[in-house]
Structure 1
Amino acid sequence: MGAALSVRDSSPDKRGAGARRGMAVLALLLCLGGSVAHAEGGAPDALFGLPLVAREGGWARYVNTSADGPSRFVVKVGGPGRHEGKRGRWMFLEVDVPATGRIRFDFLVEGERFSAKSVLLLRLRIPGRPPSDTVAPFNQPGAERQPHLLRQSTETVAGKKLAVTEYSYPMGITAQWSPGVPGLGLVRVSGTQSFQLETFGVGGDPWKGADAP
């Protein structure tokens, strides 16, 4: 995921908002596998352009293993929304950031795929601060990712068997997707930052058991 994220700042306090957003962008890249070394000037490779699995109330929890140890993040499916006359669906990504707390990214996604052009609005929620909105944060020339189909197989996650389709992307990235996983449908991503599905469900607390060994 060689390209990364550029977010336009329209808040009155641009310096403070820029710093907060930069921290959140770093967290997002680490979660979804973007390249931290290229965290300016483009769209994150993590926007795979694969179909959403819009099972309202559904969620998926992932573990991202790095040299600093494992970290986890959660993707949740929200309800319908609207921005500037366009309809979409909210998708939420939560991640715990040391010394900050649980950050949440609210994506209003138009259509059926999670891609650079489909994100109408990004709302960043940081504990103790008002929400910060960015319109069409990833919609830039050349931002779309075109996956190449590799193979189809089955995987067992949390005791459940899943039909999985694997895709490849530039920079040696591979992504496994399943219609059985709520949210982004991702099962495993390998590349600059790798992560895999730990558990998933509908309803309940997706963070329950996240700290268990």
Structure 2
Amino acid sequence: MSEDDKETQKSDIKENEKEESTEKESTEEKPKAKFTFKCTRCDACCAERGPIVITMWDLEMWARNGVVANFMPYFDIYQKPDGGIDLILKPLAPQPKEGEEEKSTKDPFGGVPIEELLDVKCPLYNKDDKKCLVYENRPLSCRTYPLEFDGKNFIVVDADCPGIGEEGMTKEDLKEMRETAKIMHYELTRMRIALPVLNQLISQKVMMDLMRQNMEAMSKMTDEDRAKLDEIFKKDREDQ
């Protein structure tokens, strides 16, 4: 092989190596952007996030702090679109717009998908003062927002949160937020395992109590009252 051929071969090898290097760089994944967060106290997550999911950790914390009674009026069971159920802090029914009829406060959801409730504020958030009324006892889902953990990965559930990208988060802050998100996942899993069983037991007890009350009421009725009740039932059947 002549000297010219050797030089040409070396040049071709270098060119191929350069192309391979460029191709490798282009196919390599770019490093993920570092997650940073600092709450700006915009309070959007309080005013527009909809139902707040409650975990076992929350109930235990409130029991220790003696404040469970403060939350009781706002507890509700929410039937999710996937068939599961969650214990939530039910949002207050939104004020009707001009020309709209006021919705029943007995069931502020009424089967409406949760996506349509994102503009409903937390019942324990004072919108006028922009203040959480239970900040020291706020639920886990508020403490970890907008970061969540699905059992494998950390997920940002609100990419539009103004606090994302804000400077000032230390490694310790990030570690604590991730740990809180993991606890949230674990405690919510505990709740979702226990809640259907508890809900079924409570529902059965309520039904049994109602039946017993009805039977007791019937046993105390006079013959005249029974006759009036029979007349009402008879008329109702005729109307149908």
User: TM-score band (shorter)?
Assistant: under 0.3
TM-score with structure 1 setting the length: 0.24
Structure with the greater alpha carbon radius of gyration: 2
| Greater per-residue strand proportion | 1
| Greater per-residue helix proportion | 2
TM-score with structure 2 setting the length: 0.23
